[in-house]
Structure 1
Amino acid sequence: MNRILSAVFATALSILTPIAALAAPLVAKVDISSQTMTVIYNGEIAYQWPVSTARKGKYTPRGQWSAKWLSKNHKSSLYDNAPMPYSIFFNGNYAIHGTNQISRLGRPASAGCVRLHPEHAAVLFNLTQQVGKQNMRVVIQN
């Protein structure tokens, strides 16, 4: 009986955790398989944009996080000062940010970050500033 209850609890937790994340005022939900981001603002789908996540040999983490810090005009300290406009850091060195490689959006191309068109990155960055980092969730799944 204990094992059954544990299994039921684990299943419920795996289902409810993503639902709880989606209850945040702002959610950037990234689907690795379709290379898209769906932005949910106050419970409504506000935007759906193409993204680029990790290319072969690199990795974009899966899971959910709140925004940790923002940097409007960030330059990569890991990749030759590559421009990362409107960066929203969510997990260590991983961020959602704009890219100048717009033609590569919609397919894997990054070193692990989630790349967006710079105009879309600016919209998400501004929304994150409005709701506050603690009220923004990043959800990345396959």
Structure 2
Amino acid sequence: MKALILSSLLMVSTFSTHVFAEDSEKASSPPEQSSNKSLALDDLMTPQEISQELGFSLRDPMWAGVVDPEVIAAKDGIDVYREYPIVLKINKAAKGRGAQQMQVIENGKLIATWPVSTGREQHEKAKSGRWYQTTTPTGTFSPYRLVRDHYSNTWKAQMEFAVFFIGGIAVHATTPDHYSELGQRASGGCVRIHRDNAKLLWSKINSYPEKLVPLFNKKGRVSRDKNGNPIRAIGWGTLIIVENK
């Protein structure tokens, strides 16, 4: 068992590091207004700045290729829906069937389909002054940090029910002023959903304890050790699959 856990930790540490922001100029001072309640925090700051403000380490969580649960069942003999009680399928496409939607699957059953706003997929300058790519990365992830209510003292803005899955990018509640944008690309990289849905999702994710779950590789298949055994690590029972189709 010790060898298996060590192998799991080694696998997690080998995922490549990607930078979502660049310092092309010094960050500007925050605006002097007393509150940015109507503004989304992921428009005010880059994902990298958000993760730094929250004190997250720069380690990479699981970032694998897009997983197809049916393929995993047929070729790897693992039931994704059994291993991960909550599976979120997010389509970040700009248009087309199912575009800008999140499917919430609990214990193998589709329980909800919600409109989302993923990244604008542009090179932009945040209000902090940093240039960055407002992209939502595709792939398969597992939450590595849950933050119920983050308030940025720097920008006087709030981010509620945040489920961080890579760096400063999270599925989180958007503000009422942005509800009309749900269903289209509109974020700085995060996956925005209606506050009511974010609250429900938060509750469901927290209802399942952390446990040993299988990891996946860059090809979207189950990671295996040198003996062919599935590699597992302690994690939330939630899998986040981001596609562009």
Q: TM-score range by the shorter chain?
A: 0.7 to 0.9
**Is residue 2:119 matched to residue 1:51?**
no
**Which digits, 9 at most, give the CA deviation of each residue in 1:112-140, with x for residues without a partner?**
00000000000111100001352101110
**Is residue 2:137 matched to residue 1:61?**
yes
Q: Cα offset for 1:22?
A: 4.3
Q: Which of the numbers 114, 127, 136 marks the counterpart of 2:238?
A: 136
- Normalising by structure 1, what TM-score? 0.81
> For the residues of structure 1 that align with 2:88 and 2:142, how far apart are their CA atoms?
10
Q: Quick check: 2:121–2:136 contact (8 Å CA) kept in 1?
A: no
Mark the CA change 1:39 to 1:22 in structure 2 (over 3 Å): closer, same or farther: farther
**Is residue 2:170 matched to residue 1:110?**
no
> For the residues of structure 2 that align with 1:81 and 1:140, how far apart are their CA atoms?
30
**Which digits, 9 at most, give the CA deviation of each residue in 1:51-97, with x for residues without a partner?**
000014110011111111111112358x8343211000111111000
**Is residue 2:145 matched to residue 1:85?**
no
> What runs of 5+ residues in structure 1 fail to find an aligned partner?
1-13
> For the residues of structure 1 that align with 2:143 and 2:137, how far apart are their CA atoms?
14
**Is residue 2:146 matched to residue 1:70?**
yes
> What runs of 5+ residues in structure 2 fail to find an aligned partner?
1-64, 73-78, 94-98, 123-133, 211-235
Q: Which structure's CA Rg is the greater one? A: 2
Partner-residue secondary structure (3-state), 2:192: strand
**Is residue 2:142 matched to residue 1:94?**
no
Mark the CA change 1:30 to 1:81 in structure 2 (over 3 Å): closer, same or farther: farther
Aligned length in residues: 127
Q: Which sits farther off after the overlay, 67-76 or 118-127?
A: 67-76
What RMSD, in angstroms, separates the aligned Cα atoms of the two structures?
A: 2.1
> For the residues of structure 2 that align with 1:22 and 1:50, how far apart are their CA atoms?
24
Partner-residue secondary structure (3-state), 1:131: coil
> For the residues of structure 2 that align with 1:64 and 1:132, how far apart are their CA atoms?
20
Mark the CA change 1:89 to 1:132 in structure 2 (over 3 Å): closer, same or farther: farther
Q: Report which of the two has the higher share of strand.
A: 1
Q: What percent identity do the matched residue pairs reach?
A: 34
